[in-house]
Amino acid sequence: MDTAAQPETAPAENLSAKVYADLKMKLIVGQLRPAETLSIRTLAEEYGVSAMPVREALRQLASEDALIGAAKKAYRVPDLNSSEAANLFFIRAILEGAAAEIAAENVRAKDIKFLEKLVQDMDTAWQNQDAVQFLLVNFKFHSRIYSLTGNSALQSMIESLYARTGPWLAHGITELVTIDSWMGDHPAIIGALRNRDAALARKLVEEDARWGVDLYRARS
């Protein structure tokens, strides 16, 4: 069961929720590769549960298009084309931009401190070539920001977008991204939040999401 880190929002009331949270986190951090196939029975054995919780978790992920599920065919991780990826990063830019705007008004000193630590963690993860840890910390960074909006609906929607873009990001990130091409943005975002500059925070976060699109274009 504890094969992946649990997300902060894990309610874990029942087995289905646990499996769902675990698989979703694996998607976010890139522990599942594009076009990879997922079988209910195989996963059930891995998790040590029956097929029932797994099938509900897979169906749930498929319902938010984090997985692809066709009738009588194995579930599989989506392999995004450039158009689909652009659409997702476009929505991320919209939602996270709006979230950052609100977050800039609610941010506290402890939030700044936490974000600064995450920037360091992301740096070390990169130096260790640990793509999973890198994406996990990146997710935590953004997650902390839009949790400051107090809008849980907004939060779950953005989370879903990370689950959908995670597999592709993990697949492409080690190939051609240099540490300079992105790392400069996160400290700038922290600075905008500290200064309560909502407009700048929005702009920077939107650019950070746009970076995902650019990364995709560079690959294809």
To the nearest whole angstrom, how small is the minimum distance from the Cβ of residue 59 to a copy of itself?
A: 6
Secondary structure of residue 38 in the 3-state scheme = strand
Q: Which option in a copy of itself, DNA, none does residue 50 bind, with CB closer than 5 to 8 A by kind?
A: DNA
To the nearest whole angstrom, how small is the minimum distance from the Cβ of residue 76 to DNA?
A: 9
The span of 131-139, 148-156, 172-180, 207-215 binding a copy of itself (CB under 8 A) equals: 148-156
Q: Which option in DNA, a copy of itself, none does residue 41 bind, with CB closer than 5 to 8 A by kind?
A: DNA
Question: Quick check: 41 binds DNA (CB under 7 A)?
Answer: yes
Q: What tokens were used for 35? A: 């076009």
Question: Quick check: 216 binds a copy of itself (CB under 8 A)?
Answer: no
Tell which residue, 21, 190, 176, 161, has the closest CA to residue 100.
190
Query: Based on CB atoms, which residue is closest to DNA, 69 or 191?
Result: 69
The span of 32-40, 82-90, 127-135, 171-179 binding DNA (CB under 7 A) equals: 32-40
To the nearest whole angstrom, how small is the minimum distance from the Cβ of residue 166 to a copy of itself?
A: 14
- Residues in contact with DNA, shown as a per-residue x/- string from 46 to 65 under the rule CB under 7 A: ---xxxxx-xx-xx------
Q: Which residue has the tokens 């652009």?
A: 86
Give the total residue count for the chain: 220
Burial bucket for residue 198 (CB in 10 Å: 0-12, 13-18, 19+): middle
Q: What tokens were used for 67? A: 């997985």
Question: DSSP character for 80?
Answer: -
Partner residues linked to 38 by β-bridges: 75
The span of 93-101, 180-188, 193-201, 212-220 binding a copy of itself (CB under 8 A) equals: 93-101
Helix or strand holding residue 191 (H, E): helix 185-194
Q: Are 57 and 4 in contact (CB under 8 A)?
A: no
Binding site for DNA (CB under 7 A): 13-16, 37-42, 49-53, 55-56, 58-59, 69, 71-75
